[in-house]
Structure 1
Amino acid sequence: MNMHGSGRDAAGSATAAPTVPCLAAVLFLLAVPAGAEVAETSLPAACTANRVAPFEDRRLAGPDMRGDFTDAQGHLFAQADLVPLDTTAQPAMPARDLRFHDIAGRPDRWNRRTGLLLDAGDGSWLALDEVASGRAGVLPARLSPACLAPLLAAEETARRAGRGAWADHRVPKASEPDTITRLTGRFSLVEGRVLGVGETRSTLYLNFGYRWRDDFTVTISASSREEFAAAGLDVAALEGAAIRVRGIVQTRDGPLIKVSHPAQIERLDKDGMRR
């Protein structure tokens, strides 16, 4: 299986393949808010609660192998916080009428406009179909936890059912650094128990082993501590916890994933129960 994505997410991450995860377990318990807008667009109200820009009517072809959509003039559009999981022989879909809501405000370094893409006919959120089918994974960057909740739940269902790129993918354990290293440059989920939480002036470290030059590590900017706490994730309290983390695998003194959004981490030991 070729589980690598373009890695060109809204945050500008590098290439990807599938692995890892979420915010606290509470994300999966979040219900899609009711309301006229949700019924019309299949979006949680939280996705557009603070929107400034209006939805735009666009005729776009895609997604292509990189997950991008293109208009007749060659302008690029991307669904926020998704990464394609299988880029092998995936031709772009024919042009269709879509509604686009820009949430980034300006194009990214690949000159793509990033936002929410809806079917102009039934108002369905294209991201849900991509994730539910196993064609895309969730890489949190811009969307709120409440907006990400249905995407994460759809991904969990697709992964458990072995749909699409998840058909033969095994989520590696943090205790398998060599396996994780082979995913360098790709999107992945990794599961393991945090053995210790370290801190420098600029960085928080989740350590999964005692050989820091070889073992898997998660890093978080120390400046994000309050943001994570506001989302219900106390980084210091993760010591001893079983978690699942998602992101782009990098290699620096062993494999690591940089976490910049609280929804990249999911507690697997619910309610403080260790397992």
Structure 2
Amino acid sequence: MIPTPAIAPTLNRPARRGGALWLLAACGALPFSAHADEACRAGTARADRLAGLGLRGELVLASGARAVLSDLRWPDEPEADAAARAWLLSFRDTPLALTERGSEDRWGRRRADVVTEGAEPTDLAGGLIAAGLAQADPGEADALCRPSLRALEAVPRAAGLGLWKAGPIEATDAAALTARAGRFAVVEGRILHVGERSARTYLDFAPRGMQGLTVIVQKRTWRGMAEHGLSTATLRGRLVRIRGTVEMRRGPVIDLDTRDAIEVVEGERALRR
């Protein structure tokens, strides 16, 4: 069931410690993250209000500016899209604190961390994720600017809320993966084989002779993963969660574009952050 705005949970309700700015810091939204590369570089928080929404959750602000929520994947499913839009629009005209990240895109928008002002601030991206209405995703960035957002998925995933109604797709479920072709998916499975080549690395989840997910990692991304403890030795046999768009080639494939599109859910001690 997709939660409605009336019952979807808000994220954190601190009445003290500096209001919205404290919440930004608590949720990893201020520039002290280990992922503080250029795309994640945060500016000074500024005030604005939500005037409306554009396509795929684009924030239309009272100032005339437009922004997209950082580290958030807007849902593809029509029902979740409608519920997420309704949840955000419940904050129309509410004073907001925006912390913009990186440079403007071709449409003049910036990614932003957005928190409502007041005694009980709500983190908009965190609230959507905690309600199961959206999922954490680095998109085209090299890493999540706010890795803590992934942890907010645990409750809706366990409860089967919203986008997690069927849980993560099993990496060996070829039929379910095929049904997601061309769309974003969160896939969970155990890496059975790591094929490291000069230009790219292949992560295979199905036994030989059976269809299942193959993840392709380009050399640059593989190098970045190695710097954070992800290698052939630390990944083989691990249970992991993969995020990305499913493509159909000889079988279902996800091209892993960023190091935070893979999450080790078993044996995390092998990682360095």
TM exceeds 0.5?
Answer: yes
CA distance in 1, matches of 2:104, 2:144: 22
Paired position in structure 2 for 1:58: 48
Alignment match, 1:10: none
Change (3 A) 1:146 1:66: closer
Distance in structure 1 (CA, Å) of the matches to 2:212 and 2:102:
35
CA-CA distance at 1:40 after TM superposition: 4.6
CA shift for structure 1 position 69:
0.7
Partner of 1:178: 175
Q: How many angstroms apart in 2 are the aligned matches of 1:45 and 1:175?
A: 34
Are 2:146 and 1:163 equivalent residues in the alignment? Answer: no
Name which of structure 1's ranges 174-183 and 80-89 shifts more when overlaid on structure 2. 80-89
Q: For residues 119 and 215 of structure 1, what CA distance do their matches in structure 2 show? A: 43
Pair 55,272 (structure 1): closer, same or farther in 2 beyond 3 Å: closer
What corresponds to 1:246 in structure 2? Answer: 243
Could you tell me which of 102, 114, 119 is aligned with 2:116?
Answer: 119
* Residues 46 and 73 of structure 1, relative CA distance in 2, 3 Å threshold: closer
- Is this contact kept in 2: 1:42–1:125, CA < 8 A? no
Partner in structure 2 of residue 83 of structure 1: 73
The normalised TM-score by structure 1 is 0.73
Taking the aligned partners of 2:145 and 2:101, their CA distance within structure 1 comes to 15
* Partner Cα separation in structure 1 for residue 142 and residue 134 of structure 2: 16
State the identity %: 29
Gaps of 5+ in 2: 3-16
* Residue in structure 1 matched with residue 231 of structure 2 by the alignment: 234
> For residues 87-107 of structure 1, what are the alpha-carbon distances to aligned partners after superposition, in whole Å with 9 as ceiling and x for unaligned?
146446123221222212122
Q: 2:222 aligns with which of 222, 225, 228?
A: 225
Which sections of structure 1, spanning at least 5 residues, go unmatched?
3-34
Q: Structure 2 matches for 1:7-46, cutoff 5 A?
A: 39-41=22-24, 43-45=26-28
Q: Which has the higher contact order (CA 8 A, sep 6+)?
A: 1
* Residue 150 (structure 2) aligns with: 152
Task: Report which stretch shifted further, 46-55 or 236-245.
Answer: 46-55
Matched position secondary structure for 1:246: strand
- Are residue 71 (structure 1) and residue 61 (structure 2) matched? yes
SS in 1 for 2:243: strand
Distance 1:244 1:69, change over 3 A: same
- Cα shift readout 1:197-243 (whole Å, capped 9, x = no counterpart): 1133321110123359x531111111123321232322453122222
After superposition, give the CA deviation of every residue in 1:40-77 in whole Å (9 maximum; x if it has no partner). 53544574225452122222235566122112475421
Paired with 2:243 and 2:159, the residues of 1 have a C-alpha distance of 19
Deviation by residue 1:179-210 (Cα, 9 ceiling, x = unmatched):
10111222222122212111333211101233
Deviations 1:73-125 (A, max 9, x none): 75421111111331146446123221222212122x45431121121324542
Counterparts in 2 of 1:220 and 1:47: CA distance versus 1, 3 Å: farther
Bigger shift: residues 42-51 or 224-233? 42-51
| Pairs aligned (count) | 237
After TM superposition, give the deviation of residue 137 of structure 1 in Å: 0.6
Q: Are the equivalent residues in 2 in contact too, given 1:43–1:147 (CA < 8 A)? A: no
Provide the C-alpha distance between the structure 2 equivalents of 1:270 and 1:38, rounded to a whole number of angstroms.
34
TM-score for both structures, normalised by structure 2: 0.73
The 1:146/1:65 distance shift into structure 2, 3 A limit, reads: closer
Q: SS of the counterpart of 2:172?
A: coil
Counterpart contact for 1:102–1:114, Cα < 8 Å? yes
Aligned counterparts of 1:83 and 1:121: Cα–Cα separation in 2? 26
**Structure 2 CA distance for aligned equivalents of residues 187 and 271 of structure 1:** 24
Residue of structure 2 aligned with 1:137, choices 135, 138, 141: 135
Task: Tell me, in whole angstroms, the C-alpha distance in 2 between the residues paired with 1:192 and 1:222.
Answer: 22
Counterpart of 1:100 in structure 2 is 98
SS in 2 for 1:232: coil
Q: Does structure 1 conserve the Cα–Cα contact (< 8 Å) formed by 2:115 and 2:123?
A: yes
